[in-house]
Structures are given as C-alpha cells and as structure tokens.
Structure 1
Amino acid sequence: MIRIREVRVIDDEGQQLGVMQTADALALAQERGLDLVEVAPTAVPPVCKILDYGQYKYEIQKRERETKKKQKSQTFKEIRFRVKIDTHDLATKTRRASEFLDDGDRVKVTVQFRGRELNHPQLGRNLLERAAEMIGDHGVIERPPLMEGRSLFIVMAPPTAKADRREEEAAPSDGAAADGGGETIGDALQTKGQVPEVADEPPAAAPA
C-alpha cells in the first residue's frame, strides 16, 4: 500500500503524467483496470507506474531466473579419480557428474596421479575417455585434457551451454567443423601421443 500523499506518475504507455495526489493516481489506474505500483520509492517524490502488477511481477521473476541461470552456468563442480579407481566408484562418480550437468553446472573431471603414475599420462587420458563415455549425452567436452600439477583434467559442459558458447564466439575458421554439437569424445581426447597441454593456472525484489 502506498502511504505517501503525492507521487510522480508514469502511465502504462510510458508517458510522464507529473506529480499527482496518490488518491488521484490510484483512481486513474483503477479506471484503466490496472494497478499503481511504486517503482522508485526512494525518489522525491516517489515514482509510481500504472501497469498490470501480475505481468510486472512475472517479468521481474523471469529476469531473476535468467540472471541465476547465467550465474549458474559459470560455476564448476568437480569429480576426482585416482588412476586405479575401481569400476563401481567410477560409475558412482560419473553418475554424479551427469546429475551436475543435468542441473546446468559445468564439471571438471580430474585424474590424480601418484608417484610414478605421472610417467604414464596415457593412463589418465584413457580414464578420462572412459568417464566421458559413461557420462554420454549428459554433457560435452568443453576443454580437452590439460595437465595441472599432478593432475590431468577435462571440463565438461551441459550440451546447451556448449551450444550457447559456440553461438557467441566468432565464426569458425575455414575447414572447421560446423556440426553445432561440440567436440566429440574422440576429437577432444585424441592426443596422438602428444604430451597434454599444461595449465598456466587453475580454472577459475517484487515492487511495493
């Protein structure tokens, strides 16, 4: 309820109606079958707008959902494996990764090396490939294998996040694939005997 005696009014077409008695502004809104909503309560006098409050509230909630979705798309979850992980644990962790991806999160899938295992990075690549295959259609590989200290990792993203990112990027160079579905597991993990790239640093209210 608006308790101020005078308010500055904007009508439903965006026209400035000037400063009015609150009672007159309410009457005008009611004549049009709309509501008088305070949109700038700290202004002097407060600014009110004649509008459909239900639609106004819906638009605010829609923007909030979009903002949260964008923020969420930037967050990372992580699952970690040892090179010698057993089949049951691998299935459990990849299932968890799939759940994260279904919720819209990016997932960092990491293989940690111990001792002399570091001399055999192919073991880590093989495990990452197996994990990505188990995750399947729940996600796509956004970043290929990367060494970070004693760990090798990939980043997987929900398929829709990958598609959105590709749309925002510049047009692909000549000869680039244009399938729109992101890298396949084989494309991303086929290092052909090369040493994995080394990382420079770890990845990073309703109105009154």
Structure 2
Amino acid sequence: MTARIILASTSVFRQSLLKKFNLPFETASPDVDESALPNETAPALVERLALYKAQAVAKNNSNAIIIGSDQVALFNEKILGKPHTKENAIAQLTAFSGQKVTFLTGLALINSHSGEQQTTVEPFDVYFRTLTLSQIEHYVDAEQPFQCAGSFKSEGLGICLFERFEGRDPNSLIGLPLMALNEMLLNWKIDILALQQRQG
C-alpha cells in the first residue's frame, strides 16, 4: 500500500483506537462547522460531518486514504451536547439513571487520489445502572467528563455507570468503529492483516 493513511482528527482516543491496526498513520485537524442543518436527523448529521472532516483534510493531501469520524449521543430522541460544567454533567447523568442512551458514530473514508468515498453510521446503545446522586457526584468529581457528550468516559471509570452495552463494535462508543473501518478498507482491497508482514 503506497497511499498514506490520515486520520482527520486530533482526538487522542481515536488515535489510540486506530493504533490497533498496527499501521503507520498521520493525523490532521479538520476545520469544519459542526452545526446541524435545519431539520437534520442525527444519523444524517454524523454521516455528513464525518464526510466533511475527511473532505477538508483531503483537499491538502493527495494520494492518501483519509478517515473522518463524528459522533452524537441521543437520549429520548434528542441530541446530547457536552455538559461543559459540573452541574450540567450531574444533571445529564441523573436523567440517564436506569435509562438507555444511543450513540451514533459516522465514519467516512476518502481516497484523495481517485476521489472515491464511502460512508456509514454505526449505532451503539448503553444502558445505565440505577445511580444514586452520591455515586454520580463521585464519578463527576473523579473524571470531570465536561467535554464528553453524555458526561462520561467509557474507556475510564465511566464503565462503572453501566448495566450493559448493546452494539456490534464497542470501539464505536469511544469514537472510531474499527470493524466498519476494516470492512470499508477491504472494499478497496486494503487488507490490514495482509499488511502486517510488511511492518516488521
């Protein structure tokens, strides 16, 4: 494979996930407006933004495979924002106690040489345990998840908030659905497993 792989994200969480493929990759910060369009559904929003991010990076990088991703959390059919404050985080988690939150992760792949592109949206459900206010406050103080949609970090102490997960790929919850990404790369005859022998 001669094309470079570029992750259109500076998220340390997405970078750590992509490292599981054991292939060299670069990162780039996409400059896109992440505002929702009027009457845009959550699946359409994450698919569009994932593609926009990949397209923004593709403009300045020829002969590369660009990976874009975007995520929203849904509760009672409403898109959740980042809490930003302790009070908002506590309020979000209190509302989630004993409830289900759905995460939608948009994934886009662009071949900047050929112009080909692929997109998909991966759903993942998390079911919260019934939580006491004291448990919620202890969690928020410990991890301060103020920049995380849903007010938790599933890759950290947040795992203690949940009763169960439902979904194909737990990586999608953290922000990059690797199973779907592998399938999309295989569509372009890029076999991650076959490439491992060249990494030694």
Q: TM-score, normalised by structure 2?
A: 0.23
**Greater RCO, CA 8 A, separation 6+:** 2
Of the two, which has the highest radius of gyration? 1
